[in-house]
Amino acid sequence: MTAPEFRLIGHPVGHSISSQIHQRLFQLSHTNGNYQLMDVCPDELEATVEKLRNLSGFNVTIPFKQKIIPFLDEMDKRAARYGAVNTIKCENGRLTGYNTDADGFLHALTSAGIRLKGNVLICGAGGAARMMACEALERECSLTVATRTIGSAQIFADDLKKSYPDADLSACALVYASGSFDLILNATPCGMYPDVEGCPIPRQVARSAKAVFDAVYNPNPTMLLKKSAAAGAKTQGGLTMLVWQAAAAHEIWYDAKFRDDDILRICIEMEQILKNEFAQ
């Protein structure tokens, strides 16, 4: 039997460890799937999607999580809420879009014993921030959104207000973030290799948080996580989210099921691969 074919499309995808993660997930579920990375220029998206229709499924990453939507035949309710898709299931040439980043994010918090509740600060106003904000507001958290300039945080907060009119929501610039938070969520690339000294918020705010999640997975821990862990916060990095969002895609594609300890083992292996590759 020919192996089911899967792809990741993005631009750039050169440093992604996704193919290693997916190959390990295929091994765990005794499936002979084939997962390849495809670097696709933004003006080639439509032609690429036509070629991918006859595969079993594919993932999309930056910059296509929103741009893919017009090419889909159907969209899962949660992906529609976030306005972003990262996983596509192909069936008889029809494409259905899902968002498994939320599965990854929620599993990552749970596995670190972090609860999504209380007074939450989200850094960033892109696709990942929107997913985190929706999940926080679904749980009635008080939310502060912070971006490099207050304008984009305000636009983001105003947009969220349309879906969550009763939410306790405020906006500020990252440099002026202040106070202490039950949970800080970083959904910006600040602190990502090679910017390893970067921290998106003032360090005293990082030090006063009870818990911190950073979507950045290289390095692990980031500067933000180091500062907050040193002051006693519970912390979690983005690698667990990355592995769990991939596992959730396999659940959608062919009903795979994974055990927490197997996923944890893959996280440890991937951390080692990153350490070797980037010699941290």
Residue nearer to ligand NAP on the CB measure, 18 or 56 = 18
Closest approach of Cβ 1 to ligand NAP, in Å?
31
Coil, helix or strand at residue 3: coil
Question: b/e per residue, 236-251, with b = 16+ CB within 10 A?
Answer: bbbbbbbbbbbbbbbb
The whole-angstrom separation of Cα 205 and Cα 227 is: 10
Closest approach of Cβ 187 to ligand NAP, in Å?
5
Closest approach of Cβ 176 to ligand NAP, in Å?
13
Among 238, 248, 250, 271, binds ligand NAP (CB under 6 A): 238
Helices (H) and strands (E) in the chain, counts: 10, 12
Query: Which DSSP symbol is given to 168?
Result: -
* 98 backbone dihedrals φ, ψ, rounded to 5°: -130, 165
The whole-angstrom separation of Cα 178 and Cα 201 is: 9
| Binding span for ligand NAP by CB under 6 A among 24-32, 68-76, 127-135, 253-261 | 127-135
Residues 197-226 close enough to bind ligand NAP by CB under 6 A: 200, 215-217
Tell me if 188 contacts ligand NAP by CB under 6 A.
Answer: yes
Q: How many residues does the chain have?
A: 280
Binding mask 148-187 for ligand NAP (x = CB under 6 A): x---x----------------------------------x
The whole-angstrom separation of Cα 32 and Cα 26 is: 6
Specify whether the CB–CB gap between 39 and 67 falls below 8 A. Answer: no
Of the candidates 51, 65, 89, 210, the residue annotated as catalytic is 65
The whole-angstrom separation of Cα 102 and Cα 93 is: 26
Among 223, 242, 256, 266, binds ligand NAP (CB under 6 A): 242
Closest approach of Cβ 26 to ligand NAP, in Å?
19
Does the annotation mark 210 as catalytic? Answer: no
Positions that interact with ligand NAP (CB under 6 A): 62, 101, 104, 124-129, 147-148, 152, 187-190, 192, 200, 215-217, 238, 241-242, 245
The residues that are catalytic are 65
